[in-house]
Structure 1
Amino acid sequence: MSYSVSPLGENNTTSDELPPGWSPSAEQIDDGENDDDMNYVPAPEEAEEEEGEDDDEEDEEEEYGDGEYSFHDAPEDFSVGDIEFEITETDEQYGDEDEDEDDEEGDREEDDDDDNEDGDDEGGVHPVYITRQQLMQLLGNARIARLFAGDYGPRRRRFPEDEEDDTEPYPGYGRIGRKRQGVYGRAAFQKVPSDEGRELMEAGEFGTNDRPEDTVKRKKRLAYQLMDRELGLGSNGRQRNTDKLISHNLIPESTADTIIHYNARCYSGQFSNDGNFFFSCAQDFRVRMYDTSNPYDWKYYKTVVYPYGQWTITDASLSPDNRFLAYSSIRSLVCLAPTDPDNESEPNMLDFSNTGGSIPRGIHSQSYFGIWSIRFSPDGREIVAGAGDQSVYVYDIERRQSILRIPGHDDDVNAVCFGDYQSPHILYSGSDDTTLKVWDRRSMGDGREAGVFLGHTEGLTYVDSKGDGRYVLSNAKDQTAKLWDLRKMHSKEKADRIDPSRYTTQFEYRQSTYDENDYQPHPHDCSLVTFRGHKVLKTLIRCHFSPPGSTDSRYVYSGSYDGSVYIWNMDATLAGKVDVLKATRNSRPRDPRLLAETYDYYDRNGGRWVACVRDASWHPTAPVIAATSWNGWGAAQGTCTVHTWNDGLEDDEGEPKMSRRVNAQFQHDDRLYRNRPSFADLSSSDEE
């Protein structure tokens, strides 16, 4: 499959060609399954087809023999859209690997005999005609998914086997393998509470611990802690301890103070380091900025646009001084826009494919790549990016070119970050090849990574650093978040003897539901703590460390496909949960024209209200969480919801009222409160 570059909003499909209930924009989205949420890959160069079986075999060996990623086309009777699929299964596809499969083969032979007697079938071939919707449902079955992955999927690079590794490969979604050995499924989950995480908490690595004042142990409520602080009892150290205990107990709650509605899905949103600024990225290629100097009274600030966007804005990052915002799409170009509301100039386009050579790159290049993650360096001079060409890029803003390209992964690099707030030398990168790698730019003469974290059994979706150069957090499609210690990473020499593809099922997270029975722990897992409970489906869900100011660095938290923000203690126990789905349900009227992008949520009644929290940000100094979501009827729209700690109250007597509904410019909109709006009211856009 190749991917063409077209201007924003361009669509050559006429409305007569679209199925009922779909709009041209929906057609563009349906055909544009080329971001990482849809397993985007650069378009391969076309090769001439040669006739003859021998030539085909040579082509296949040449295609996969170099150890690089490559893809081959589906057979001619395998197509997409509203055209029916014809999938042919023969008896040759079934081996004699175990007794269960032998039994199944025997059943098939009996069916073949019956078919041959009736004259309806020949040679044990069974054509099956299914629709596109039925195929998506079938892909949720592990055996069917393995069949497709084995025929049409990528073949991964192989590494020398670890001599000490005698574990069996996974038989999951991505391959047909032998029977699993050892414990798997829920019985293999790590212990909760985690002993390692509890040790970190008690040692003061993450947050403050209560200091007992007497021999009687009692749980002190907030009122007791406030009284203790007001009385000023004890030393200065004890009083500071009390202040920190108060702050890390103020966990935001589900009731939303404000619901900001967009007409497109929200993909990410973050506070600035000082908390005075917030931005949100949406699928309409707009980044909205808000003044949050008063975290309880936001003000609309500015909107910037990505002019050549593909599918969505994938990520954004603020410069340390808040003067510039960098944001990316599935292009090799990153937009750099000033945040000054009086500066209306067009954003600068930073071409990450420009490495100083003479070959034309960027939007007019044939071999462009998509960028999934970007971060400003602590000094604001560079931007690091993770890309779809399996590489990490470091871009020098002043020189206007990439000064470093690290082709260090075997699949898309979905997440990157810096390891230390004070230094740009240490980089982390997380990939769909299930590895989290550490790079030290001071010792990369030979392009070697400084170390590798192994433990996830599916691709990584996000990476966040605590900022101390020691601890890092990752989220992955195996439905876990993991805490890592830089001192416990594997060396490159050891990692090279381990093939990560042996321990992955290649789970298709966009269409399937994760089966916990398929989970088997990674035998080389070097993580400290594993966090569970959230769902990493449909899109690249993000996770973060909680800030030191408002939470005393006590927690980690993550968005979730089920419409919630999960907050964990460091021992993997659940500390809190922000239910965004409950807070926003039915908070805007249904508009059938906005349901054309609803994935599998559409029904005859016009869709149902669905929320998927893709990202969340905890304010650095106040007990406030802002969650950005796919949210609305059929998850076709988006929201940014502001949640605060309110001592369990679901309503208040102040102004503005809790759960107020505003548009993208943070303006009150009566249309959001109407149960049956007219199409004339909804036809006017709330965008600039």
Structure 2
Amino acid sequence: MDYIPALGEDEDGEDDEGDASFHDAAENLSGVEIEVEFTENDDQEEGDNGQEASGAARPPRPIYITREQIMQLLGHAGISRIFASDYTSRHRSRRFADNDDDGEESEPGTGYDPIVPRRRRGRGRATFQAVPSNEGKELMNAGTFGSSNRPEDTLKRKKRLAYNIMRRELGLGSDGRQKNANRLIRQNMIPESAADTIIHYNARCYSGQFSDDGNFFFSCGQDFRVRMYDTSNPYDWKYYKTVAYPYGQWTITDASLSPDNRFLAYSSIRSIVCLAPTDPDNESDPNSLDFANIGTHNPRGFHTYFGIWSIRFSGDGREIVAGTGDNSVYVYDIERRQSILRIPGHQDDVNAVCFGDSLSPHILYSGSDDTTLKVWDRRSMGDGREAGVFLGHTEGLTYVDSKGDGRYVLSNGKDQTAKLWDLRKMMSKDKADQVDINAYTTRFEYRSNAYDDNNYRPHPHDCSLVTFRGHKVLKTLIRCHFSPPGSTDSRYVYSGSYDGSVYIWNLDATLAGKVDVLKATKNTRPRDPNLLADTYDYFGRNGGTWMTCVRDASWHPNAPVIAATSWNGWGTSQGTCTVHTWNDGLDNDEAEPKMTRRVNAQLQHDERLYRRLAHNYDDDWEDD
């Protein structure tokens, strides 16, 4: 069911119709009585010509209706607020928070409250940021995010790969032009929708990432297993190892690989993180890291039971940061085996965390369901204050990724946008505290509703640089990332999507490409009634529709390869990890292994994946 706010009402309880300059009726309507005049029905007491039975003409009788009766008849929340006696005071108390740019403020203690016409915020697609984005164009032309074509003549030619290779082989142009041409070749190799390999799981796949050197890949499933693969040859993966979360709840929520690739940390909706060695010869049980353990002295109000939604290793591998369900950010010291810092800095779940710079553990980012992205500097947190705040999302955040340069941050939100932020443009805590963040959100329930763009209202304090649209952030905490510098020259940002695709954008918010995982995987395995019981979208005992939700994607750091991890199958009841490579627009090739091959979790060919019907598909099939 679509979420549709009350007609004509915004999040502040104000009417949306009217001009930019308007008079607030609420300020003069409190305590008003309404007189309604109408004539009773002719058929009840009057004759055909308006005469009473006695023959005397009767004037219309006025009927007085109280304010409470009007409210019962209309039942409209917005009109109720207009007539409420306390609306004026509540409205005035929020006026400055909504109009920081109006230039008038009351002096503390004076009680002076100037009447400032409030600016009207538009609604719907008309309020979207222009595409292409001028700010994004500047970033692209500055060379911070990839390279741009250098004009060589007055003719505009579409230079394909073969043309650029020819110029490189002939050594045409200066050294600068040749280096630029090489970067353009690399960044234009966007992977295709056709999948080289489809890895099928018997449970939904929640996340998967390459290591920083590209030699390792892991995927996390709802069956509480993490599979590891050797990807030193990105076109020919090798199965490595599987580890389990022994006491997980619902699913494995996140995983993070240590910088030296020796340990893998993974979490569930509990306060314990498992730390497992990646060595295939080491079959020992994973170590348990209890983030609720902060030593012998627990501060007042400390919560010992919470779920973990996001974890990240620090650049030196000594600490793990976590975003949790008790509205906090935790920093865990692996050597001391306890949490050394808890930051209760949000008003809702912290769905995403990351370090700002791989070389320094001091700067942290956290994204929350309270719609804020906050920056924390551990060197100046004596009073627990954040270093700054990013406002702009109108619904909760689902993921945060850092470019790794200590400056640019990317976030995904339930308002169906991804946003790029610059650390230099963050708001100070003092200014952010003057903004009522709850006034600009509808608390959209993304797990059960479809998002209606017509209800979108831009945040008046949006300090983001570029906004990216087109993908769907529904059902689950879908993730977004910066593209790697090695294989793409940091040219793009990309995100999974509920519609079964990986969206790839240029920095000016234009779509650079799209990997259609739904198309690549549709009907690639038979129905299995035993695997349909837990699905969200399955209708009917023997029916169902093949659906795909790409929850996470990872771009190989050195090769034009994207691995997408998805909820996939009949009613999204199973999962896949699909490997997509750049193939110059071809849907097939003559290389080995063959494209679109279907394998199980151990990368083994299984004929049962190729069955067209499932009449006899009742036998059990274990992945590992």
Bucket of the pairwise TM-score, normalised by the shorter protein:
0.7 to 0.9
CA distance 1:162–1:200, change in 2 (3 Å)? farther
Question: Residue 343 in 1 paired to residue 276 in 2?
Answer: no
Distance, in Å, in 2 between the alignment partners of 1:237 and 1:357 is 60
Aligned pair 1:585/2:512, yes or no?
A: no
Q: So what's the TM-score if we normalise by structure 2?
A: 0.81
Q: Quick check: 1:236 aligned with 2:169?
A: no
Of the two, which has the highest radius of gyration? 2
Cross-structure match for 2:254: 315
Q: Which amino acid aligns with 1:309?
A: G
SS in 1 for 2:551: strand
Write out aligned runs for 1:26-45 (5 A).
none
Equivalence for 2:396: 459
Which stretch shifts more, 650-659 or 475-484?
650-659
2:603 to 659, 663, 666: 666
How many residues get paired?
A: 526
Contact conserved, 1:540 with 1:614, CA < 8 A, in 2? yes
Q: Map of 1:66-465 to 2, 5 A cutoff?
A: 161=94, 163=96, 165-166=98-99, 181-357=120-296, 367-465=304-402
Distance (whole Å) between structure 1 residues aligned to residue 159 and residue 122 of structure 2: 41
Measure the CA separation in 2 of the matches of 1:573 and 1:334: 39
Letter in 2 for 1:670: E
Q: Which among 597, 616, 619 is matched to residue 683 of structure 1?
A: 619
C-alpha distance in 1 between matches for 2:177 and 2:406: 28
Query: What is the Cα deviation at residue 235 of structure 1?
Result: 3.0
For residue 227 of structure 1, give the secondary structure of its aligned residue in structure 2.
Answer: helix
Give the match's secondary structure for 1:630.
strand
SS in 1 for 2:96: coil
Q: 1: distance between equivalents of 2:316 and 2:186?
A: 30
Per the alignment, do residues 358 and 202 of structure 1 end up closer, same or farther by CA in structure 2, a change over 3 Å counting?
closer
Contact 1:286 1:305 in 2 (8 A): yes
Deviation at 1:654, TM superposition (A): 2.6
Supply the distance in 1 between the matched residues of 2:316 and 2:423 (Cα, whole angstroms): 23
Within 2, Cα distance between the matches of 1:341 and 1:677? 35
In structure 2, relative to structure 1, the CA distance for the partners of 1:302 and 1:678 (3 Å cut) is farther
User: Which of 475, 491, 494 is equivalent to 2:428?
Assistant: 491
Distance between the aligned counterparts of 1:684 and 1:236, measured in 2? Answer: 61
* Native 8 Å contact 2:239 2:602 kept in 1: yes
* 1:285 to partner: Cα distance: 0.2
Structure 1 letter corresponding to 2:367? G
Matching residue of 1:53: none
Cα offset, 1:648, TM superposition = 1.0
Q: Distance in 2 between matches of 1:162 and 1:687?
A: 59
Between the aligned partners of 2:505 and 2:391, the Cα distance in structure 1 is 22
1:677 Cα offset (Å): 3.9
Cα offset, 1:585, TM superposition: 0.2
Q: Would the aligned equivalents of 1:595 and 1:606 in 2 still touch at CA under 8 Å?
A: no
Contact 1:671 1:677 in 2 (8 A): no
Instruction: Give the counterpart letter for 1:205 in structure 2.
Output: T
The amino acid that maps onto 2:408 is Y
1:593 partner SS: helix
Question: Kindly tell me: are residues 99 and 354 of structure 1, through their superposed partners in 2, closer, same or farther at Cα, counting changes over 3 Å?
Answer: closer
Equivalent position of 1:114 in the other structure? none
Deviation at 1:378? 0.3
- The alpha-carbon deviation at position 656 of structure 1 amounts to 1.9
SS at match of 1:163: helix
Q: Is the 8 A contact 2:97 2:436 kept in 1?
A: no
Q: Deviations for 1:659-679, whole angstroms, at most 9, x for unmatched residues?
A: 000000010010000112454
| Equivalent residue, structure 2, for 1:482 | 419
Equivalent residue number for residue 510 of structure 2? 573
- Conserved? CA contact 1:162–1:498, under 8 Å: no
**2:446 aligned residue (480, 505, 509):** 509
What is the aligned partner in structure 2 of residue 77 from structure 1?
none
Does residue 562 (structure 1) correspond to residue 499 (structure 2)? The answer is yes
Structure 2: runs of 5+ lacking an equivalent: 1-12, 18-35, 37-68, 70-75, 78-90, 101-117
Q: Deviations over 1:24-77 (max 9, x none)?
A: xxxxxxxxxxxxxxxxxxxxxxxxxxxxxxxxxxxxxxxxxxxxxxxxxxxxxx
SS at match of 1:239: helix
What is the letter of the counterpart of residue 272 of structure 1? S
How far apart, CA to CA, are the structure 2 residues paired with 1:545 and 1:483?
A: 10
Could you tell me how far apart the structure 2 residues matched to 1:367 and 1:475 are? 29
1:8-36 deviation line (CA, Å, top 9, x unaligned): xxxxxxxxxxxxxxxxxxxxxxxxxxxxx
Contact 1:601 1:608 in 2 (8 A): yes
**Are 2:550 and 1:613 aligned?**
yes
**In 2: Cα distance, 1:568 partner to 1:99 partner:** 33
Rounded to whole Å, the distance in 2 between the matches of 1:528 and 1:97 is 28
| Distance in structure 2 (CA, Å) of the matches to 1:289 and 1:574 | 32
Indicate the larger mover: 465-474 or 650-659.
Answer: 650-659
- Give the distance between the partners of 2:545 and 2:477, measured in 1 at CA: 22
Matched letter for residue 684 of structure 1: D
- What corresponds to 2:63 in structure 1? none
Residues 236-265 of structure 1: CA distance to partner in whole angstroms, max 9, x if unpaired? Answer: 332221111001100001000000000000
Structure 1 residue identity aligned to 2:572? A
1:230 is displaced (CA, Å) by 1.1
Higher mean C-alpha displacement, 387-396 vs 602-611:
602-611
Letter in 2 for 1:163: F
1:468 corresponds in structure 2 to 405
State the identity as a percent: 79
List gaps (5 residues or longer) in structure 1: 1-95, 101-105, 107-123, 125-142, 145-157, 168-178
Mapped contact 1:264–1:636 kept (Cα < 8 A): yes
Contact 1:392 1:406 (8 Å CA) reproduced: yes
Partner residue of 2:5? none
Q: Which amino acid aligns with 2:252?
A: I
Task: Report if aligned partners of 2:367, 2:374 keep a CA contact under 8 Å in 1.
Answer: yes
What is the rounded CA distance, in whole Å, between the counterparts of 1:222 and 1:296 in structure 2?
21
Alignment deviations for residues 259-288 of structure 1 (CA, whole Å, 9 cap, x no partner): 000000000000000000000000000000
The offset of 1:620, in angstroms, is: 0.3
Q: Is the 8 Å Cα contact of residues 162 and 497 (structure 1) preserved in structure 2?
A: no
AA of the residue aligned to 2:621: S
The residue aligned with 1:155 is none
Contact 2:529 2:542 in 1 (8 A): no
- CA RMSD across the alignment: 2.5
Alignment partner of 1:543 out of 460, 464, 480: 480
Preserved CA contact (<8 Å) 2:265 2:276: yes
Aligned mates of 1:294, 1:98 — CA distance in 2: 59
Give TM-score, length-normalised by structure 1: 0.74
Which residue identity lines up with residue 620 of structure 2 in the other structure? S
- CA distance in 1 between partners of 2:422 and 2:173 (Å): 35
Query: Whose helix fraction is larger, Structure 1's or Structure 2's?
Result: 1
Residue in 2 aligned with 1:527? 464
In structure 2, distance between residues paired with 1:387 and 1:251: 35
Deviations 1:171-200 (A, max 9, x none): xxxxxxxx9943111111110000100111
Partner deviation per Cα, 1:421-457 (whole Å, 9 max, x = no partner)? 2111110000000000000111111111000000000
Say which SS state the counterpart of residue 470 (structure 2) adopts. Answer: coil
2:80 aligned residue: none
Match of 1:266, as an amino acid? C
Query: Within 2, Cα distance between the matches of 1:519 and 1:99?
Result: 12
- What is the CA distance between 1:207 and its match in structure 2? 0.3
Pair 187,485 (structure 1): closer, same or farther in 2 beyond 3 Å:
same
Q: Distance in 1 between matches of 2:355 and 2:266?
A: 17
Conserved? CA contact 1:616–1:627, under 8 Å: yes
SS at match of 1:683: coil
Q: Residue 613 of structure 1 contacts residue 629 of structure 1 at CA under 8 Å; is this kept in 2?
A: yes
> 1:84-115: per-residue Cα shift (whole Å, max 9, x none)?
xxxxxxxxxxxx99899xxxxx9xxxxxxxxx
Partner of 1:244, secondary structure, is: helix
